[in-house]
Amino acid sequence: MRLVVTSDTHLPARARDLPAQLWAAVDAADVVVHAGDWVSVAALDALEARAARLVGVYGNNDGPALRARLPEVARVELDGLRMAVVHETGPATGRERRCAARFPDVDVLVFGHSHIPWDTVAPGGLRLLNPGSPTDRRRQPYATYLTATVASGAIGDVQLHRIGR
């Protein structure tokens, strides 16, 4: 199973559309995961229309219309892999410990908010992934998103993709 993981798209505030490179990845994926801060309902509609399967949550910049359609936390099982998605996890310091305590029954936690790519493993084995942002790199050298594979309850081939300036 092929995954695309993105977050903090901020459409149309930070870009008019998602980068072509990300759309191509979406078209090839079995599941697209979005960790919030869509900003516009049109962004959600566009991803729903093109993704084979979409798992998403709302973020702090998402208004009532998006909050009516998306949960704050999404939980999904993908080929035996237990995944949760949330927008905010708090400060980087202590993140692994806090998230492991909050999500004890999860194998992978996808989060956003910071626009900073993140890939760590908490004590106990919880993997934390933040794809960064494909449209608003902030202080990062590149805009980014992630791809991965899921098979037999395990995530693999996690790759951070840079989007050219």
Kindly report, residue by residue over 49-96, the tens digit of the pLDDT: 999 999 999 999 999 999 999 999 999 999 999 999 999 999 999 999
pLDDT at 164 > cutoff 80: no
pTM of the model: 0.96
The answer to whether 44 and 67 are in contact (CB under 8 A) is no
Amino acid at 5: V
Name the average pLDDT for the chain. Answer: 96
Residue 138, SS3? coil
Amino acid at 72: E
Structure tokens at 113: 């908010």
Residues in the chain: 165
Rounded CA-CA distance 13/136 in Å is: 9
